[in-house]
Amino acid sequence: MAQARIRAPSALDRLEWRTEPGLLDYPAAVADMTVRAEAIAAGEAAERIWLVEHPPLYTAGTSALPRDLLAARFPVFETGRGGQYTYHGPGQRVVYLNLDLAARGRDVRRFVQALEQWIIAALDDLGVPAWTAEGRIGVWTSGPDGAEAKIAAIGVRVRKWVTLHGLAINVAPDLSHYDGIIPCGISAFGVTSLAALGATAGISALDAALAHHAAAMLAAVGPEAGGA
């Protein structure tokens, strides 16, 4: 049923939706998405939404501050995405998007806002209310203690008007792994996950929710030039 929902909307007919099995090596993922972005810019490949999980690691975005790396508990990778330090690991759904913004209106801010609303809609399907917060990157919810906590991070790059990197949603990662960094440079708020909130939905349920709202997200980014 989930596969049928992925392929049914015309907005996804020309786009590859790929789910990677197992834990994917981070440098391999970056190399793959970079090659794909170049091919899209050259008109030689279709857009792609790529769902992956990584082994435990930290990434440093272009605004990362050395002081926010508290302890290099896991490999640290400098990456070309925007933002600061973040964590990836098992139990976290990472979504990499190679979308052609040249064909979708060349509006990076609209792209990021579409990702935020995509995450919020998917989490709502799973019974978790979430929102954005003025001046804070990512998507937020009420943590187990009632305080606001981040449940999803966003970090993107645009090269030749093709997007790279994307978002990460905490399903059931080991949240203690965040102790080695100040996530996104924000120390006043913690991080949480679906599991920490008592939600029973796993990664497959999240994937189905993301697939269900993917066409709406793409329409919000901007309709593909010449598409339906």
User: Which residues form the catalytic set?
Assistant: 184
Closest CA to 179 of 25, 55, 24, 58: 58
Nearest to 103 by CA among 145, 168, 163, 186: 163
Rg for the chain, CA atoms, rounded: 17
How crowded is residue 61: how many other Cβ atoms within 10 Å of its Cβ?
Answer: 22
Cα first-last separation, the chain: 23
Report the run of H or E that residue 48 belongs to, with start and end.
strand 48-52
The C-alpha atoms of residue 20 and residue 39 are separated, in whole angstroms, by 20
